[in-house]
Amino acid sequence: MFELSWQAPYDWRWMFGFLQARAVTGIERFEAGSYTRSFEYSGHRGVITMTPDTSRQVLRVTLSDDLRVVAEPCLTRVSRLLDLDCAPQAILDTLGPLAAARPGLRLPGSMDAFEQGVRAILGQLVSVSMAAKLTGKVVAAFGEPLPDSPGFFLFPRPEQLAAADPLKLKALGMPLKRAESLIFLANAALSDALPTRAPADIALGMKTLQSFPGIGRWTANYFALRGWQATDVFLPDDYLIKQRFPGMTPAQIRRYAERWQPWRSYALLHIWYTDGWAP
């Protein structure tokens, strides 16, 4: 077992609630205060169990046997997923009253950028629960089961989705154009056209993503937020954000949000999850 520390405050109830609402059957499982998910790195595969110990301010991480060989990159991905390296006080100082209601809120990242890209595309124009169900269907159809972990699958690798029949994907419950978007994304991951880490120029990276078929501005921003865990992304044309800023255009909202640089991603989450907030 390994232990990873974090700086307080950390709202574990919120973080686990966020991830559990989006949990994909076959990939993720929540039980007894722990989060377990399948993972593959460099040919090594298994499951990772994460359990926060709030009294000691550490996250206990258990890796199945084959993943222990690649423990360091696995722990790095866990830290990125759960934003364990965050220095919260600097963010709280910048956000001020906006962060007062949830000072322990963190930015949920991802274990794998390609996986997050697939999930972002499948989440377009559907509810969170429907997106999770559809992603579970893709996992069941194209993922590989883990023999040593009954009920768990590996998330489909880029080469598996790149070779997929778009009509087979469509039959799972998505528009054909969305199926074609997934295949394009898989090919982009194979050719390294899809950056797996945050590029130096996030804005340019998001423009590149928008050149991919089926990826508009909102999806590109959301992918940057979670797939790259970019800390300074804001979505001024998001439906809920526009509701929070009544009477303001996206351009006005964007200018208003400049006060929260370089932590606009955290500001976005606080606005999303603070009922009744108003500028």
Would you please indicate which residues are annotated as catalytic (active-site) residues?
Answer: 238
Torsion, Cα of 10, 16, 17, 19 (10° steps): 120
The H or E element containing residue 63 is strand 58-63
**28-31 sheet: strands from edge to edge:** 2-5, 58-63, 44-53, 34-41, 28-31
Total length of the chain: 279
Helix, strand, coil proportions of the chain in percent (round to 5)? 50, 10, 40
Compute the distance between CA of residue 233 and CA of residue 206 in angstroms, rounded to an integer: 10
Structure tokens at 208: 């590149």
Residue 49's nearest CA partner among 164, 123, 149, 188 is 149
* Cα 132-163-179 angle, rounded to 5 deg: 40
Mind giving me the DSSP string for 89-102? Answer: HHHHHHHGGGGSS-
